[in-house]
Structure 1
Amino acid sequence: MSRIENQFTVHFWGVRGSIPCPGSHTVRYGGNTPCVEMQVGGKRLIFDGGTGLHVLGQSLLPSMPIEANIFFTHSHWDHMQGFPFFSPGFIKGNIFHIHGAIAPDGSTIEQRLNDQMLHPNFPVPLQIMQANLDFHNVIPGQAIHIHDITVETAPLNHPGEAIGYRINWRGGAAAYITDTEHYPDRLDENVLWLARNADILIYDSTYTDDEYNCPTKPKIGWGHSTWQEAVKVAKAANVKTLVIFHHDPSHDDEFLDRVGQEAAQKFPGAIMAREGMVLQVPVPFPLSESFSVSKFSAYSLQSEQL
């Protein structure tokens, strides 16, 4: 049994929201839009395809051929704009199982990825990709089984809809909950359910409370949450490590330093998402034990290589 097959790691390739923001003022935290890679028992799971996906793709080139699952929360540009620049997608022999919910207009994730690569938006179509692209429609509330990994899903409060994910493996759990707006009078039950007792919670903390409620430029209705709400969720859900994620493009390194200090004072397990950061999820159950959590009916994805 190789070392990687006994590990559950979380690697951050893009941690910004809304728009890429490279520059001298974002060096420490990074300027790429969302992409988080999890290696779970030797399987590769990728969450969102922002510009961080391009960087991840370049790192994978020496390891061809590869097989991975890609999960999209939704199809706003900052979460899918890296997909046309994902180099492994253009290489024959690679296999990508792509998961996403059907949008309110009825379009599938395949249609939306296809549309962003049509003229006049992009020079070459999706069909030029030579990798095997295997598309799956996610129904929020249903779980996805990939061998002994269970990926739970739930709808999030975001304009145009979005989906949150929880990854369970051998007793360890990581929740990826981004592009969701909190409610003014209560904690979101779907968010709490995904985050319950998680070892790692990655949560949309785009704004501060002051920015969100600013009388002159409020962010209410924009579909994002605050780091203060992230702390509330982490405490209520008994989370071990809270990752402040989806940084606003206007927040430079110094601003995020201050947020990190304040968040850690409120919740000692809070850390700031940074590009290149790798976290380890503890897996308490031995490989011989079967451990999976499922709330609803599920579809299973099996592959000899995956």
Structure 2
Amino acid sequence: MIDNRFHIKFWGVRGSIPCPGVETVRYGGNTSCVEMQVGSERLIFDGGTGIRILGQSLLSQMPVKAHLFFTHSHWDHIQGFPFFVPAFVKGNEFRIYGAPAPNCATMKQRLHAQMLHPNFPVPLQIMQADLKFYDLEAGETLQLGDISLDTASLNHPGEAIGYRINWRGLSAAYITDTEHFPDRLDENVLRLSLNADVLIIDATYTNEEYYDPRSTKIGWGHSTWEEAVKIAKAAGVKQLVLFHHDPAHDDVVLDQIGEQASLAFPHTILAREGLSIELIPRSD
């Protein structure tokens, strides 16, 4: 792995449920998974169905060492983990992080539970890689060599954690799933986003969908692209990446959202499977 790079790649960009099909080809239908190669470390954020595709790509690079950070354990963020092939291969090493759920269940317990009968044919213990689990507390900062990761709680049913990755003057924020507040900007989201080179943020809905009186999305735990733009402007973000697309939004709808969002904040792109972003360390 190249030591002097900050590389971000998207393997799954959807929320709620996978939505493969002819109408979602360009943006992809897999659920949340983002890989970052930061210096000598590989960081993986969330284990939605996109992590299966990431796992296939890693088979040619074994042995694999990585840190896997979960925002929370809703189905669309963990459902790919049982299909992450490198975790079944002896000699690979994964450090797995997540905050305990409101019922105090650890991330290890929740990943274990989803692989028990009748949900899955084989248990977590069949994974032969070296798996070590760490409990996080929202608000703490982790240090991985010269990488620091800030964390903060997000406004989501069942709780979730957002992350900010800092390395050699560069920063990227990964903030999903979270719902904006009606009367103010979320201080935790602002803090994680402040002057970030890249902000990857929940933008599941449009304002029209969110406030639709016939089928309101208020209280569902997700935000809109319009609110994401407000955060990006207030925080002085350099690149805004709209993420966690609604499965009902096909390629045409996402194209339209991208056009509108770019008019509101020119440095906006929509996350899509295969998208790569390279951050260049600043020279002294």
Same fold per superposition (TM over 0.5)? yes
For 2:97 and 2:48, the matched residues in 1 are separated by 15
Superposed CA deviations along residues 57-113 of structure 1, whole A, max 9, x for unmatched, are 000001110100000000000000000000000000000000000100010000000
Structure 1 contact 38–46 (Cα < 8 Å) conserved:
yes
The offset of 1:32, in angstroms, is: 0.2
For 2:283 and 2:235, locate their aligned partners in 1 and report how far apart those are by CA, in whole Å. Answer: 21
Is the counterpart of residue 182 in structure 1 residue 157 in structure 2?
Answer: no
Return the letter of the residue paired with 1:201.
L
Which residue type is aligned with residue 89 of structure 1?
A: A
- Alignment correspondent of 1:289: none
Paired position in structure 1 for 2:75 = 77
**Contact 1:174 / 1:281 at 8 angstroms: preserved in 2?**
no
For residue 23 of structure 2, what is the aligned residue in structure 1?
25
- Name 2:266's counterpart in structure 1: 268
Task: Tell me the equivalent position of 1:129.
Answer: 127
The aligned counterpart of 2:242 is 244
**2:153 corresponds to 1:167:** no
CA displacement 1:202-238 (0-9 Å, x = unmatched): 0000000000000100000000000000000000000
Moved over 3 A (4+): none
Match in the other structure for 1:256: 254
CA drift at 1:31: 0.2
Letter in 1 for 2:277: L
Structure 2's unaligned 5+ residue stretches are none
Structure 1 unaligned regions, length at least 5: 287-306
Q: 1:110 aligns with which of 108, 111, 127?
A: 108
- How far apart, in 2, do the equivalents of 1:147 and 1:61 lie? 25
> C-alpha displacement at 1:285, in angstroms?
5.2
Aligned equivalents of 2:40, 2:29: Cα separation in 1: 28
Separation (CA, whole Å) in 2 of partners of 1:93 and 1:38: 21
Give 1:1-306 correspondences, 5 Å limit: 4-284=2-282
What is the alpha-carbon distance in structure 2 between the residues aligned to residue 144 and residue 134 of structure 1? 15
| SS of the residue 1:44 aligns to | strand
CA distance in 2, matches of 1:47, 1:281: 17
SS for the counterpart of 1:264 is helix
Separation in structure 1 between the aligned mates of residue 130 and residue 112 of structure 2, nearest angstrom: 15
C-alpha root-mean-square deviation of aligned residues, in Å? 0.7
What amino acid is the match of 1:216? R
The SS at the match of 2:240 is strand
After superposition, the C-alpha distances for 1:161-194 in whole angstroms (9 at most, x for unaligned) are 0000000000000000011000000000000000
- What is the rounded CA distance, in whole Å, between the counterparts of 1:221 and 1:231 in structure 2? 20
Q: State the TM-score, normalizing by the size of structure 1.
A: 0.92
Alpha-carbon separation, structure 2, partners of 1:213 and 1:266? 20
Q: TM-score, normalised by structure 2?
A: 0.99
SS at match of 1:261: helix
Give the deviation of 1:284 after TM superposition. Answer: 1.5
Q: Distance in 2 between matches of 1:282 and 1:221?
A: 38
Where 1:136 maps in the other structure, the secondary structure is strand
